[in-house]
Structure 1
Amino acid sequence: MPRVSVIIPTYNCDRFLAEAIDSVSRQTYQDYEIIIVDDGSTDQTCQVLEPYRNKIRYFYQDNQGSAVARNLGIKQAKGEFIAFLDADDFWIVPEKLAEQVNCFEQQPSLGSVHTGWRIVDGNGKKMIDVEPWCDVPNLDLESWLMYKPVKTSGIMIRHNWLQQVGGFDGELRQSHDVDLVLRLALIGCEANWWRRVAVGYRRYQGNTTRNTQTQAKCLLKVLDKFFAHGDLPKPIQKIESQVRYHTLVWIAWYQYEQGFYDEMARFLNQSLEYSPYYKMETISDWVEQFKKFSVQNGLSLDICVLTDLPNWQKLIVNIMVN
């Protein structure tokens, strides 16, 4: 029985899939199985997989989204530990599996181990390394809520914890990784970092997380679902407004980066309901947060371009007169 099950869901990712599989094959730790879950691909996925037939376990499902595909992989997995890898991502550190397994062995109470990631373009060229532990050294429930420093391709988790929470929420097309770590933390699953940038995360036109409207809708649904729990710890209940404010400002920045300026203004306006600041302080904070989010993603923010937008100016006028 393999000790680690590597689950790779794929949907029309034929141009990247081989690189993902090869990055697993290069791991120094070899006690693993690779489970490919084809989420109804219509491209050349089957042809790409042909040379790997003796190295993988292949499952097909009609298109239902990556959360459902991952759940199928979890159901079929034989390993004590589950590692996830998106078909358009790849592992850049050959010791990733070995070191994550070592973390579990050194700390038996751990339920999941997480890594940093490198944002790359569609050709795999480096844009920026993300080391989330610099801002979020401790992975507890409050940290997951406030900062959501999760990248699915960097997770390794004990199989039994996934079984306890029932895997991913198949209703969520996106942000189901955030939902998962929140549910795990809520029932006491201990998480920690392996402090290495170990994942190449592609940012390119067409990958699912670039669907900004779905991303926003799903992320807010995750928060609604979480805060609907009637038995949340008191300290967590007290930071709900802070969490919602921070999340809405992040969503607004994401809309801005994708050129959806009406949506940007709409989410910023929604954040006012939860802002801990006076009006002018809130506007200043928006700018500071936009700058921070841009830097974290290897991008630059031209404040003049932002504040010259008619959508931004209209929003500010409405705030000041109401």
Structure 2
Amino acid sequence: MITNKNNRPLVSVVMPCFNSAQHLNQAIDSVLEQDYPNIELIVVDDGSTDNSLQILQQYGDKIKVIVQKNGGPAAARNTAMRAATGDFIAFNDSDDIWLPGKLSTQINYLLATPEIGLCYTSWIVWDQQQPLQQRLNKQPNISAQQLVPEFSGWIYLKLLKVSYIHTTTAVMRKDIIDNVGYFNEAYRVGEDHDYWLRISQYCQVTKLKRAYSVYRDEPISITKTLHPHNFSLLVLEDNIRRFGLNCPSGAKIELSQVEKYLGERHFVYGYQAMLSKQRHIAFKSFKFGLKYRYKFARTFFLMLACSNSITFKLLLKKRQLQIIRSFYNNILGGVTCLG
């Protein structure tokens, strides 16, 4: 175990950066200002075209900077992880914020529980409509190491439903990489969900109830470019093929429940395609989702509405679009790592 400052193990903090100039200082400072004394912060500039690199260079030897061509979040994280020299790996994104005490709390927990491979925490969603401190003041008073038992231990089956682990909250032992590998760079979205699923088959994890990270929530654009593949679905299908429906603890999940998860991903991707006005993709996604009978009546109706341009245009009239957007946002509240 690498120790140096105050006899504490070195923690390598991984931060991918792509055109993050607006929030980059706040993300970096939230890491450097932690009370944990032994940190190396590795920031990978993933082909930024703004002034992110100039901001990074201002930190001098306080951080390690690696510049590469744009390859996506998975590729950037992998580059940083390969350069890491610490015994633990922590993650923060270049627009998110760590709260004081985060790293020391999680490292202390992992040092005290060698059977746990990864520790993650609750997080705060900040819509930036109010000052951050005002948002933080609304948090309940929770002890530093209070656990969330239902989302701790062997959680593979729970992760099949949704990615309960937010990347910016996770701290893991570096030797996990030797057994699980790195992020799958084929996934441009959902690469984190895939990684946590793979880790959950290898080791137990723990969730701390107290929030130690702030996720900066940017408004969803109605014209957001649709990803060409339903990555959320692919992540789930790939891991089911690899690991099946059994948890290392011996627990199992019914096939019917997993089919519901698969149907949900078809349904949500269909909504995304509708909002992007890509009728043919929406039709195809709803059609494939029908076999899982998830929200069958609504899926069938939307599939029919997407079957020709006239009904599709009627569906996307302003009033109907507002209804769709509202419902879609409600879905996003329960599903993460969407394709």
Question: TM-score scaled by structure 1?
Answer: 0.75
1:289 alignment counterpart? none
Match for 1:201: what amino acid? Y
Residues 68 and 170 in structure 1, CA contact (< 8 A), matched pair in contact too: yes
The SS at the match of 1:228 is: helix
Residues in 2 aligned to 1:157 and 1:113: alpha-carbon distance in whole angstroms: 6
Confirm whether residue 306 of structure 1 aligns to residue 299 of structure 2: no
2:77 alignment counterpart? 70
1:160 alignment counterpart? 175
Which has the higher mean CA deviation after the structures are superposed, 82-91 or 119-128?
Answer: 119-128
- Using the TM superposition, give the Cα deviation of residue 150 of structure 1 relative to its aligned residue in structure 2, in angstroms: 2.2
5+ residue gaps, structure 2, are: 3-8, 141-146, 301-318, 327-339
Change (3 A) 1:260 1:163: farther
- Using the TM superposition, give the Cα deviation of residue 135 of structure 1 relative to its aligned residue in structure 2, in angstroms: 11
Confirm whether residue 272 of structure 1 aligns to residue 290 of structure 2: yes
Which has the higher mean CA deviation after the structures are superposed, 42-51 or 212-221?
Answer: 212-221
Residues 123 and 214 in structure 2, CA contact (< 8 A), matched pair in contact too: yes
Change (3 A) 1:52 1:241: same
Residues 89 and 202 in structure 1, CA contact (< 8 A), matched pair in contact too: yes
- Report the identity percentage: 28
2:204 to 187, 190, 195: 190
1:83 to 90, 94, 106: 90
Match for 2:89: what amino acid? I
2:188 alignment counterpart? 173
5 Å-filtered alignment, 1:197-216, equals: 197-204=211-218, 213-214=226-227
- Using the TM superposition, give the Cα deviation of residue 269 of structure 1 relative to its aligned residue in structure 2, in angstroms: 4.7
After superposition, the C-alpha distances for 1:211-233 in whole angstroms (9 at most, x for unaligned) are 56329621112122112227653
Residues in 2 aligned to 1:12 and 1:29: alpha-carbon distance in whole angstroms: 28
Change (3 A) 1:307 1:34: closer
- Using the TM superposition, give the Cα deviation of residue 253 of structure 1 relative to its aligned residue in structure 2, in angstroms: 5.9
Q: CA RMSD in A?
A: 3.7
Residues in 1 aligned to 2:191 and 2:96: alpha-carbon distance in whole angstroms: 17
5+ residue gaps, structure 1, are: 284-301, 310-322
Change (3 A) 1:206 1:241: closer
Residues 226 and 276 in structure 2, CA contact (< 8 A), matched pair in contact too: no
The SS at the match of 1:183 is: helix
Residues in 2 aligned to 1:61 and 1:21: alpha-carbon distance in whole angstroms: 19
5 Å-filtered alignment, 1:1-322, equals: 1=2, 3-91=10-98, 93-121=99-127, 125=131, 137-138=151-152, 140-186=155-201, 188-204=202-218, 213-214=226-227, 217-229=230-242, 233=246, 235-236=252-253, 238=255, 239-251=257-269, 262=279, 267-275=285-293, 279=296, 306=323
- Using the TM superposition, give the Cα deviation of residue 172 of structure 1 relative to its aligned residue in structure 2, in angstroms: 1.1
- Using the TM superposition, give the Cα deviation of residue 169 of structure 1 relative to its aligned residue in structure 2, in angstroms: 0.3
The total of aligned residue pairs comes to: 285
Change (3 A) 1:135 1:249: farther
After superposition, the C-alpha distances for 1:69-110 in whole angstroms (9 at most, x for unaligned) are 10111111111111111111111x211101111221222111
Question: TM-score scaled by structure 2?
Answer: 0.71
The SS at the match of 1:229 is: helix
The SS at the match of 1:112 is: strand
- Using the TM superposition, give the Cα deviation of residue 38 of structure 1 relative to its aligned residue in structure 2, in angstroms: 0.9
Change (3 A) 1:281 1:72: closer
Structure (1 or 2) with the greater helix fraction: 1
- Using the TM superposition, give the Cα deviation of residue 281 of structure 1 relative to its aligned residue in structure 2, in angstroms: 9.4
Change (3 A) 1:77 1:308: closer
Residues in 2 aligned to 1:241 and 1:276: alpha-carbon distance in whole angstroms: 8
Residues in 2 aligned to 1:72 and 1:308: alpha-carbon distance in whole angstroms: 37
Residues in 2 aligned to 1:135 and 1:109: alpha-carbon distance in whole angstroms: 15
Match for 2:120: what amino acid? H
Change (3 A) 1:250 1:108: farther
2:332 alignment counterpart? none
- Using the TM superposition, give the Cα deviation of residue 266 of structure 1 relative to its aligned residue in structure 2, in angstroms: 5.7
The SS at the match of 2:211 is: strand
Residues in 1 aligned to 2:128 and 2:325: alpha-carbon distance in whole angstroms: 31
Match for 1:112: what amino acid? L
